């Protein structure tokens, strides 16, 4: 991981199954700007641990940028145009992030992806995300682009029903997963993040997921 931080060795693309591909190291172009971008975004819309509809506090801290932001509270999961914490619209999606998401989708064979939502997940060591489907979006023909940054993680990749077998995929700093088509509604999650200290982002894992919501 450390070796590839600012390196430019191309990593092979790894197809997980039809519609889901890992673009190894594809987000490396963000390295010079990502720290500053995250800091500015979190100033405007702070990371916060949201509540599940069942009333449990999530271990992952979240914020958003773009026209629509994903939120969870006792009323359920949904997208909102404003940050409930501040009452302001979510910060604009920075061009370097939007461009990376578009290019990643194109690289994976999904042309014309134009994201209006970027969910930003922050995992401190120990934080996890239990198996779930992403189904709060209107149009499942649009892919999701997911960018892993900072500490590495084990991505749990299941099937279309919760009981299906789960594969474990290691994701490192700057790996991008694009998934859509027949994989769009697969169950997935993140194992508890291990302790560590990343050269660029410190003691945390950041995940950006880009979607087309409206």
User: Of the candidates 146, 150, 156, 180, which one interacts with ligand MD6 according to CB under 6 A?
Assistant: 146
- 177 contact choice in ligand MD6, Fe ion, none (CB below 5 to 8 Å, kind-dependent): ligand MD6
3-state SS, one letter per residue, for the chain: CHHHCCCCCCCCEEEEECCEEEECCCCHHHCCCHHHHHHHHHHHCCCECCECCCCCECCCEEEEEECCEEEEECCEEEEECECCCCCCECCCCCHHHHHHHHHHHHHCCCCCCCCCEEEEEEECCCCCEEEECCCCCCCCCCCEEEEEEECCEEEEECCCCCCCCCEEEEECCCCEEEECHHHCCCCEEECCCCCCCECCCECCEEEEEEECCC
Find all residues with CB under 8 Å of 187, minimum gap 6, and list them: 131, 132, 133, 158, 159, 160, 161, 162, 164, 166
Interaction between residue 83 and Fe ion (CB under 5 A): no
State the nearest-atom distance from the C-beta of 98 to ligand MD6, in Å. Answer: 17
What binding mask, one character per residue, do residues 148-187 give for ligand MD6 by CB under 6 A, x or -?
-----------------------------x-x--------
The residue to which tokens 């169950």 are assigned: 187
Interaction between residue 134 and Fe ion (CB under 5 A): yes
Interaction between residue 64 and ligand MD6 (CB under 6 A): no
Structure tokens, 131 = 């198996």
What binding mask, one character per residue, do residues 92-131 give for ligand MD6 by CB under 6 A, x or -?
-----------------------------x-------x--
Interaction between residue 144 and ligand MD6 (CB under 6 A): yes
CB nearer to Fe ion: pick between 86 and 130? 130
State the nearest-atom distance from the C-beta of 30 to ligand MD6, in Å. Answer: 16
CB nearer to ligand MD6: pick between 83 and 134? 134
State the nearest-atom distance from the C-beta of 185 to ligand MD6, in Å. Answer: 10
State the nearest-atom distance from the C-beta of 203 to ligand MD6, in Å. Answer: 16
Instruction: Kindly list the residues in this chain that would bind Fe ion in the complex (CB under 5 A).
Output: 134
Residue ranges that bind ligand MD6, judged by CB under 6 A: 121, 129, 134, 144, 146, 177, 179, 188, 190, 207, 209
């Amino acid at each position: 991981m450390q070796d590839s931080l600012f390196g430019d060795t191309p990593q092979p693309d790894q197809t997980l199954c039809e519609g889901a591909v890992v673009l190894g190291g594809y987000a490396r172009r963000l390295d010079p700007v990502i720290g500053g971008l995250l800091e500015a975004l979190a100033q405007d819309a702070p990371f916060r641990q949201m509540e599940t509809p069942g009333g449990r506090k999530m271990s992952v801290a979240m914020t958003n940028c773009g026209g629509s932001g994903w939120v969870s509270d006792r009323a359920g999961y949904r997208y909102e145009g404003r940050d409930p914490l501040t009452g302001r619209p979510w910060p604009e999606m920075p061009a370097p992030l939007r461009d990376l998401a578009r290019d990643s989708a194109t690289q994976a064979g999904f042309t014309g992806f134009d994201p209006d939502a970027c969910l930003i997940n922050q995992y401190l060591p120990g934080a996890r995300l239990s198996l779930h489907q992403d189904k709060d979006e209107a149009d499942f023909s649009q892919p999701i682009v997911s960018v892993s940054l900072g500490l590495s993680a084990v991505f749990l990749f299941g099937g279309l029903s919760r009981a299906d077998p789960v594969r474990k995929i290691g994701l490192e700093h700057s790996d991008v997963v694009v998934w859509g088509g027949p994989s769009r509604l697969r169950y997935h999650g993140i194992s508890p993040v291990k302790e560590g200290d990343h050269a660029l982002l410190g003691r945390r894992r950041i995940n950006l997921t880009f979607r087309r919501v409206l």
